[in-house]
Structure 1
Amino acid sequence: MKGWRGLAVGAAALSVAVAGCGTSSDSGSDSGEPKTLTVWLMDGSAPTTLTDALNKEFQDSHPGVTVKYEVQKWGGIQEKLTTALTSNNPPDIIELGNTQTAKFAAEETLADLSGDLSDLNGDQWLGGLKDSLTWDGKQYGMPFYAANRTVIYRTDLFEAAGIASPPTSRDEWVAAAEKLKAANAADPEFQSVYLPGQSWYVLLSLIWDEGGDVAKPQGSAWAGALDTPEAKAGLEFYKKLVDASGTKAPKDADEATPQQMEVFGTGKVGMMVGLPWELAGAVKANPDLKDKTSAFPIPSKTAGEVAPVFLGGSNLAIPAGSKNIDLAKDYLKLLSGKKYQDMLAESGAVPGTSTDTAKLATNPVGKALAESAPGGKVTPTTPAWAAVEAGQNPLKDMLTAYLTGAKSLDQATSDANASLSKTLAG
């Protein structure tokens, strides 16, 4: 998934926007020889306070080096990167979505940084983020930042319904949904949970929480795992939550159609499973919600535990064709340090190379992010996964077929698994 757009934090809401071997031709970082280090970061990825300070500190410590900082748009970036990485003059550092990394690593257009992990605080990388950078046993970059979904809820509605504290298990989550629905039964427009039929990132958490996965390695390729008992159990709970919530969300669309933050902003929703920037958007549309919202991690089926979440976000990599690989490594080393990782956390992102989330957990949403992130995961690290998201996503089709009753649980999971396996075999 592409990096999250937007990176700003408020008191109750924050927004988070959301990876070949190379040989160095530069003569070192202290030679004083005029050089230009070209850095491509994505629009909304990092606050200017961070990038301005980072670029100045880097230039001050590398006489003669100028950072050419260029902000890129997400629209069309994969095609632009493909062209740039195969050119004779690629940028020296690039940002890319963490599900895009395997594609470029497999094409041997990224520098292998396996020997540089200690300089990049590799021992502090979250497991899920490290997985997104791993291809053929090697590391092709470093994590930049991440964000994950939490359950965003109305504190005033919880209180009115007699819900004393946020749910800490999936059973409690369903019970809370039922209490909210009962307490607001007089309002035909009320939804205790807004849950679209194709929110497959939410489904990932439920499947992972059951000990399952969407796909498994099979030799040198991947095969679907949607027809396993664990995957079926995750799908069954999804339906249980939909049924308990009274959601009016379409069963054949995801959270973007319509934008769920707009629905939450109407004030007729008790909970939604969303990203920080979605809460920020809802509060912007309806300022009355500012002091009436909070968040809790997606709960596990095991009471007191947190379900695994999808860690969407971005990685930073060095193109294999860079003429300044040593300088680029120095730049990443500086960015991976505590100073700039704390600045990322203060901006509302899960810091990529630091397990210290104290700066993030200063408000309820950030606290929920910080609690969820350590158990976060990513989708299968294979170039073939891009076709799953870009095409007719089998997980979405499976959800719609099962939730509408068009297919039984067994038929829906079997058909989706066959389709997914075919796509991953590519």
Structure 2
Amino acid sequence: MKRTLMAAVSVTAMTAALAACGTGDDGSGSSGGGGSSDSLTVWLMDGSAPESWVTELNQAFEAEHGVKVNVQIQQWDGIQERLTTALSEEGTVDVMEIGNTQTVGYANTGGLAELDAFADQPWNQNMLAAAEVDDTLYAVPWYGANRVVIYDKKIWEEAGAEVPTTRDEWVTALETIRDNTDAEPIYLPGQSYYVLGGFIADEGGSFAVEDGDAWKGALNTPEGQAGMDFYAELQSFSNSPKDNDEASPQQSIDVVPGGNVASWIGLGWEANGAITAIEEAGDEADFGYFPVPGKTADQLGHVFLGGSNLSINQRAGNPELAEEWLTLATSQEWAQKFVDAQNGGVVPNRTDVTASPEAGSFAEAMVASADVGFLPPLTTGWANVETVPNPIKELMTKSLNGDDYASSAEAADAEITTRINRE
């Protein structure tokens, strides 16, 4: 049963260094009113879509329907509060972009319209899971993005390290760099828990699992232990403190440009940020990219599949017009144009859309991992797990510091179970 619109829902949206874009307001969150018989209001997030794509799409829509599309660009910072307000008012916004791990929470609160009319489209199945609740569609996938391994070509060449295709080869490459250079083989923060989640998924595990009508933590398992063991093996090649995450210090800006780092795991916007910082310092960046390796050469490692969905406000001023806009924006034609405008740098939302990124690019490595993307538990209560102090991050630091994994994981599972089942 849907619940009263909650005060806030966590945002875990991982974007892919997409160009800032759009028309409309400055992102302050002022709505300017929702749709009417002759207008439609659409909220898109800063950096999600190229301005050229937005402009061309809306020109086509306006020509066909004789209405004005008012696109308002929103900032990720504080978006949950603005969305919560907009979804509780009549006619504030018609169509909105929502981070994929947000969608279930807002659907459960009654804020989003049902979109079962869109269910028969050839959506990317990994993305579709974040748009459904109890087999009912409350959003449609728009794009995905995930992490890859970013490496310094010069350091790897100096060490004689080869790009790996398996976990074992990855470790061998790091050992080669350690033994033949003075570089840090990999920068891996102690609490990069989405990276850990991929390793646990490689083992067939998850952060939490359904338990009847509820959820329970699932870290004190053989799968959780194996995922943490591999994380610890990689982290042993890093100089990073065991109690920090990738946001503090910010790895792409604060660590990589100022250090002698041979490799790191990051997103597209982080790679671009590091390149910019290095060039501004008067140096030249020469990065290579490869997907996170799996246990065997025929299976890439799992990676958190971030991204965004598009939804319609349950209280939209013009729901019929909103459906028409959403139909056009996510059609095969316009979805392909969207991917092309990103130079293949996003994971397509549809199986009949292809991404053709440049050879050797971040996008090429990212798209290769799209079929093995994973998501955290898709439930409203997951927002409670991610709040500080995050029990998964605390477990990681304890384990890296030599504490008994089973007892630490048991405590983390108890906290996850309590939080994830909280309204």
After superposition, residues 237-256 of structure 1 pair within 5 angstroms as 237-243=230-236, 245=237, 247-256=238-247
Q: How does the TM-score come out when normalised to structure 2?
A: 0.88
Please say if residues 3 and 98 of structure 1, whose CA atoms lie closer than 8 Å, have aligned partners that are also in contact: no
Answering whether residue 216 of structure 2 is matched by residue 220 of structure 1, we say no
Q: Which runs of 5+ in 1 are unaligned?
A: 10-25, 27-32
Residue 382 of structure 1 aligns with an amino acid whose one-letter code is T
1:264, CA displacement in angstroms? Answer: 1.6
1:352, CA displacement in angstroms? Answer: 2.3
CA RMSD in angstroms, aligned pairs only: 1.9
Residue 376 of structure 1 aligns with an amino acid whose one-letter code is G
Question: 1 CA distance for matches of 2:352 and 2:392?
Answer: 31
1:7 aligned partner:
18
Answering whether residue 397 of structure 2 is matched by residue 409 of structure 1, we say no
Match of 2:378 among 372, 377, 381: 381
1:47, CA displacement in angstroms? Answer: 1.2
Question: 1 CA distance for matches of 2:390 and 2:169?
Answer: 31
1:163, CA displacement in angstroms? Answer: 2.1
Residue 417 of structure 1 aligns with an amino acid whose one-letter code is D
Question: 2 CA distance for matches of 1:422 and 1:68?
Answer: 42
1:69, CA displacement in angstroms? Answer: 0.9
Match of 1:42 among 25, 41, 45: 45
Question: 2 CA distance for matches of 1:151 and 1:206?
Answer: 14
Q: Which runs of 5+ in 2 are unaligned?
A: 1-11, 21-34
2:265 aligned partner:
273
1:415, CA displacement in angstroms? Answer: 1.3
Match of 1:259 among 228, 250, 263: 250
Deviations 1:297-344 (A, max 9, x none): 111112332011111111110011113222111211211123432343
Please say if residues 348 and 355 of structure 2, whose CA atoms lie closer than 8 Å, have aligned partners that are also in contact: no
1:94 aligned partner:
96
1:395, CA displacement in angstroms? Answer: 0.9
Number of residues paired by the alignment? 391
Deviations 1:379-421 (A, max 9, x none): 111000111112321110010011012x211122111111111
After superposition, residues 102-141 of structure 1 pair within 5 angstroms as 102-118=104-120, 121=121, 123=122, 125-141=123-139
2:28 aligned partner:
none
Task: For residue 298 of structure 1, give the secondary structure of its aligned residue in structure 2.
Answer: coil
Q: 1:361 to 1:350 in 2, by over 3 A?
A: farther
1:88, CA displacement in angstroms? Answer: 1.6
1:322 aligned partner:
316
Question: 2 CA distance for matches of 1:169 and 1:363?
Answer: 19
Percentage of pairs with the same residue: 40
Q: 1:34 to 1:325 in 2, by over 3 A?
A: closer
Task: For residue 304 of structure 2, give the secondary structure of its aligned residue in structure 1.
Answer: coil
1:265, CA displacement in angstroms? Answer: 1.8
Answering whether residue 142 of structure 2 is matched by residue 144 of structure 1, we say yes
Question: 2 CA distance for matches of 1:146 and 1:361?
Answer: 18
Question: 2 CA distance for matches of 1:341 and 1:197?
Answer: 38
1:99, CA displacement in angstroms? Answer: 1.0
Residue 210 of structure 2 aligns with an amino acid whose one-letter code is P
Task: For residue 351 of structure 1, give the secondary structure of its aligned residue in structure 2.
Answer: coil
Question: 2 CA distance for matches of 1:44 and 1:358?
Answer: 19
Deviations 1:119-153 (A, max 9, x none): xx3x2x22221111111221111112111000111
Residue 116 of structure 1 aligns with an amino acid whose one-letter code is F
Q: How does the TM-score come out when normalised to structure 1?
A: 0.87
1:285 aligned partner:
277
Question: 2 CA distance for matches of 1:5 and 1:157?
Answer: 25
2:189 aligned partner:
196
Match of 2:331 among 333, 337, 341: 337
Please say if residues 283 and 289 of structure 1, whose CA atoms lie closer than 8 Å, have aligned partners that are also in contact: no
Question: 2 CA distance for matches of 1:226 and 1:350?
Answer: 29
Q: 1:66 to 1:362 in 2, by over 3 A?
A: farther
Answering whether residue 202 of structure 2 is matched by residue 209 of structure 1, we say yes
Task: For residue 67 of structure 1, give the secondary structure of its aligned residue in structure 2.
Answer: strand
Question: 2 CA distance for matches of 1:226 and 1:85?
Answer: 35
Please say if residues 168 and 305 of structure 1, whose CA atoms lie closer than 8 Å, have aligned partners that are also in contact: no
Residue 205 of structure 1 aligns with an amino acid whose one-letter code is G
Please say if residues 193 and 270 of structure 1, whose CA atoms lie closer than 8 Å, have aligned partners that are also in contact: yes
Answering whether residue 172 of structure 2 is matched by residue 175 of structure 1, we say yes
